[in-house]
């Protein structure tokens, strides 16, 4: 393998993406220079035939590298890719499209009615392949449509895409640049096991950059993807006559921008289900529709999608989720779902026109948007509106665009038909005063705004409004420094009871991958975290303690399986307990606790519980944090100063090597020298035995001052020991503690003193 592709495979495996088809060229794969097959590279001669000859020769030999040395290669005909071929574009090389209208015509498609024309036809491209394995485009050269590719519906001979691939397995796109892509720079449909590193697409003067349709196992890193329509978009259509799965996708360290439309998008074609997507460290610098868009229009279930460390500027709709009822898919689809979506560490700045409030719009009943968490999400919108009606805006359920919903009555978040949605340590503000509320939620349940900050319009009636919401909670402040002003028409508040000191609920923690649920009973707070069944799933809390030292950590959990779900417990990145057992409970409604002792630092500590098996974590409810009481300082009586008494060991149950039996006279005593770790209150616990039926009173003095007069009541016999506790104040350092008999019976038998 070449070093770059070895690295890509390793990175994809590390990311958990299976690369079943991403084998690679043999270590000594032959290279087929297109110039050796007649290509001129002069920019004017049509080199398509020579390019095809080089590809065919490499394929006939079992595969190889088709090399484009520096030069400009005009390609006026569709090049048909073959399996086990890598197109290598050397520095200074460009393959440029033609206006000769001699590309392959679009093929007929019996399922044309289920998606737009451009998605239904694949042959009319500069490079086309179907049912291929192990193919790639690498190098630092360029594929350029040259302004000759069609952005609308092409006629016969016209191409509307640079790369068009269907039903492929194992695709690598590394380092290359694509420009002026027509309708699509890249269109892949049912291509799986894709890796891409340092891919650059500049087609902002045309339309879509990369449509990734019906794909599983995709890893994109270090991309710079710029389109006019959609930049990076995940879809699932019916162009191949079937609803196909989608998922196991990682996009990291990538920049995206879109001119007219969406930067990072799900849909609108959404026939097959989508699951397991992670987007991290993404920069978005423009989108005339959505920065982070997600729609289910054709019956798809979209779940387990996680956004983290995202920055957005110049976006009309920073975040949008919508469930629609277009249902443009074969096999009579129902209405889809959106659930288990998380946004963490996201900032977004909206553009001045057009303006769409960030929105979650679900359908009624079982098709509400559910289980969405926003943590440290901060959005700035243009603002500038006067107060308007707070009624539900209009909606076209067959249209996926942000403008399909009328002007939202909130300048910030508008939630409609949403369930189990949480905002934690998040905010929304505006650039120009806006007199609409910051948030309005209409028709939903279990909506929580925790430590939420909203900019207050000078003429706004309230900050957060709930309309027919069953169970809401809103804590935080507006920018004038006051508490959030809440309006709750036909809604019920449910903030739960205040947790005891030191309790940290799992629903307020960071978790990945997993989902906040309240399906089972008996949990504390508003829910619990159900992690995905994967090795490495975790829940992480930021916990505060006043003093450094050992603390008791009590994890409350449920494990309704028959197998242990062990976890590593780490504090501030250091493992304090490895593979701690979380054994099965009777069922998922039965909760148990596991206790771990760990040393914490004063202030904030990062506490993480991580699954050590593929079963994932158990359901985690909360962790209680309490300072561990230090073991008492024990001072044995046989080591003390004794006046008128003797050390004996003739009874049972004593501590140490014996006990003190004082003489039966008033004034006999036992005196210890004890250490006060700090000046202040302490408790003396005096162990004694009194086998008589009468009390044996005494005084307790500290540093010569009598502080208590306990009676030392009778015990069952001389082998039975009891404790008398005396609260005192000790000085820092050495203190004398004396127990002195006050009657002729003397003291009780004294065993030890605990401080």
Tell me how far apart the alpha carbons of residues 364 and 370 are, in angstroms, rounded to a whole number.
12
Per-residue pLDDT reduced to its tens digit, 574-630? 999 999 999 999 999 889 999 998 888 888 899 999 999 999 999 999 999 987 666
The residues near 233 (Cβ < 8 Å, ≥ 6 apart) are 208, 210, 211, 212, 262, 264, 265, 266, 267
pLDDT bin (cut points 50, 70, 90) of residue 524 is confident
Higher pLDDT, 50 or 482: 50
Q: What is the DSSP string of 347-374?
A: EEEE-SSS----EEEPPSGGGSEEEEEE
Tell me how far apart the alpha carbons of residues 173 and 220 are, in angstroms, rounded to a whole number.
9
Per-residue pLDDT reduced to its tens digit, 366-375? 999 999 999 9
Tell me how far apart the alpha carbons of residues 461 and 588 are, in angstroms, rounded to a whole number.
44
| Closest by CA position to 287, among listed 306, 253, 263 | 263
Question: What sign does the CA torsion over 383, 387, 388, 394 have?
Answer: positive
**Consecutive H or E run containing 153:** none
Determine which of 233-242, 322-331, 426-435, 520-529 has the lowest per-residue pLDDT on average. Answer: 520-529
CB 468 within 8 A of CB 490: yes
Q: Using the 8-state DSSP alphabet, how is residue 483 labeled?
A: B
**Consecutive H or E run containing 493:** strand 492-493
**Consecutive H or E run containing 50:** helix 48-60
CB 23 within 8 A of CB 170: yes
Task: Report the predicted TM-score, pTM, of the whole model to 2 decimal places.
Answer: 0.70
Mean per-residue pLDDT of the chain:
92
* pLDDT reading at 13 higher than 80: no
Q: In which residue are the tokens 């005593």 written?
A: 669
| Closest by CA position to 32, among listed 86, 92, 78 | 86
Per-residue pLDDT reduced to its tens digit, 438-481? 999 999 999 999 999 999 999 999 999 999 999 999 999 998 87
* pLDDT reading at 518 higher than 90: no
Q: Spell out the domains of the chain, with CATH numbers in brackets.
A: 3-261 (2.160.20.10), 519-627 (2.60.120.260), 634-754 (2.60.120.260)
Determine which of 73-77, 194-198, 622-626 has the lowest per-residue pLDDT on average. Answer: 622-626
* pLDDT reading at 7 higher than 50: no
Cα pseudo-dihedral 712, 716, 720, 725, rounded to 10: -30
CB 729 within 8 A of CB 681: yes
Phi, psi of 8 (to 5 degrees): -65, -40
Query: Where does residue 288 rank: exposed (0-12), middle (13-18), buried (19+ CB within 10 A)?
Result: buried
Tell me how far apart the alpha carbons of residues 128 and 165 are, in angstroms, rounded to a whole number.
6
**Consecutive H or E run containing 13:** helix 3-14
Over the range 9-24, which residues count as b (16 or more CB within 10 Å of their CB) and which as e?
bebbeebebebebbbb
In this predicted structure, what is the pLDDT of residue 3? Answer: 38
Per-residue pLDDT reduced to its tens digit, 211-243? 999 999 999 999 999 999 999 999 999 999 999
């Amino acid at each position: 393998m070449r070093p770059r592709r070895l690295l890509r495979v390793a990175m994809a495996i590390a990311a958990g993406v299976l690369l079943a088809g991403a084998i690679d060229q043999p270590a000594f794969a032959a290279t087929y220079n297109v110039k050796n097959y007649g290509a001129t590279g002069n920019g004017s001669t049509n080199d398509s035939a020579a390019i095809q000859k080089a590809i065919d020769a490499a394929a006939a030999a079992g595969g190889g590298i088709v090399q484009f040395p520096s030069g400009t290669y005009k390609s006026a005909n569709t090049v048909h890719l073959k399996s086990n071929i890598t197109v290598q574009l050397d520095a200074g090389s460009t393959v440029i499209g033609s206006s000769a209208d001699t590309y392959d015509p679009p093929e007929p498609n019996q399922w044309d009615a289920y998606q737009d024309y451009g998605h239904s036809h694949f042959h009319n491209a500069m490079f086309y392949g179907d049912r291929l394995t192990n193919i790639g485009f690498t190098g630092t050269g360029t594929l350029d449509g040259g302004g000759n590719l069609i952005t609308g519906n092409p006629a016969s001979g016209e191409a509307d895409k640079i790369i068009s691939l269907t039903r492929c397995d194992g695709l690598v796109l590394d380092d290359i640049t694509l420009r002026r892509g027509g309708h699509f720079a890249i269109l892949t449909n049912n291509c799986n096991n894709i890796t891409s590193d340092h891919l650059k697409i500049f087609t902002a003067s045309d339309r879509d950059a990369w449509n990734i349709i019906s794909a599983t196992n995709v890893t994109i890193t270090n991309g710079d993807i710029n389109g006019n329509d959609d930049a990076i978009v995940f879809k699932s259509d019916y162009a191949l006559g079937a609803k196909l799965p989608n998922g196991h996708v990682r996009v990291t360290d990538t920049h995206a921008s879109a001119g007219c439309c969406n930067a990072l998008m799900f849909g609108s074609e959404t026939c097959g289900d989508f699951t397991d997507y992670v987007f991290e460290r993404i920069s978005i610098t423009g989108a005339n529709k959505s920065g982070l868009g997600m729609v289910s229009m054709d019956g798809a279930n979209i779940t387990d999608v996680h956004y983290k460390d995202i920055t957005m500027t110049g976006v009309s709709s920073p975040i949008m989720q919508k469930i629609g009822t277009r249902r443009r898919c074969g096999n009579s689809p129902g209405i889809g779902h959106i659930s288990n979506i998380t946004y963490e560490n996201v900032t977004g700045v909206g553009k001045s026109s057009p303006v769409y409030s960030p929105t979650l719009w679900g359908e009624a009943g079982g098709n509400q948007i559910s289980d969405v968490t926003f943590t440290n999400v901060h959005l700035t919108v243009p603002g500038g509106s006067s107060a308007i009606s707070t009624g539900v805006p209009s909606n076209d359920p067959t249209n996926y665009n942000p403008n399909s919903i009328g002007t939202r009555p909130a300048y910030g978040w508008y939630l409609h038909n949403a369930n189990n949605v949480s905002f934690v340590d998040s905010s929304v503000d505006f650039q120009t005063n806006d007199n609409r509320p910051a948030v309005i939620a209409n028709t939903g349940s279990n909506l929580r705004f925790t430590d939420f900050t909203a900019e207050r319009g000078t003429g706004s009636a309230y900050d957060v409004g709930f309309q027919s919401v069953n169970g809401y909670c809103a804590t935080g402040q507006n920018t004038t420094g006051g508490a959030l002003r809440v309006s709750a028409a036909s809604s019920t508040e449910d903030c739960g009871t205040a947790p005891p000191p030191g309790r940290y609920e799992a629903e307020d923690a960071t978790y990945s991958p997993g989902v906040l649920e309240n399906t089972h009973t008996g949990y504390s707070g508003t829910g619990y975290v159900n992690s995905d069944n994967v090795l490495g799933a975790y829940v992480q809390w930021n916990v505060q303690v006043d003093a450094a030292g050992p603390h008791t950590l009590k994890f409350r959990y449920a494990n309704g399986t028959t197998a242990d779900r062990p976890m590593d417990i780490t504090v501030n990145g250091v493992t304090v307990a490895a593979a701690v057992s979380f054994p099965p409970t009777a069922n998922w409604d039965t909760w148990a606790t596991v206790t771990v002792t760990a040393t914490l630092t004063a202030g904030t500590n990062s506490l993480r519980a991580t699954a050590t098996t593929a079963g994932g974590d158990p359901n985690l409810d909360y962790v209680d944090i309490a300072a561990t009481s230090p073991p008492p300082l024990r001072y044995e009586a046989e080591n003390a100063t004794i006046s008128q008494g003797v050390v004996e060991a003739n009874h049972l149950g004593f501590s140490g090597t014996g006990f003190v039996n004082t003489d039966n006279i008033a004034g006999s005593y036992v005196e210890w020298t004890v250490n006060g770790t700090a000046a202040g209150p302490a408790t003396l616990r005096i162990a004694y035995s009194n086998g008589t039926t009468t009390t044996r009173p005494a005084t307790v003095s500290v540093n010569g001052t009598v502080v208590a007069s306990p009676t030392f009541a009778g015990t069952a016999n001389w082998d039975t020991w009891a404790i008398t506790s005396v609260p005192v104040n000790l000085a820092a350092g050495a203190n004398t503690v004396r127990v002195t008999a006050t009657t002729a019976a003397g003291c009780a038998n004294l065993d030890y003193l605990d401080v």
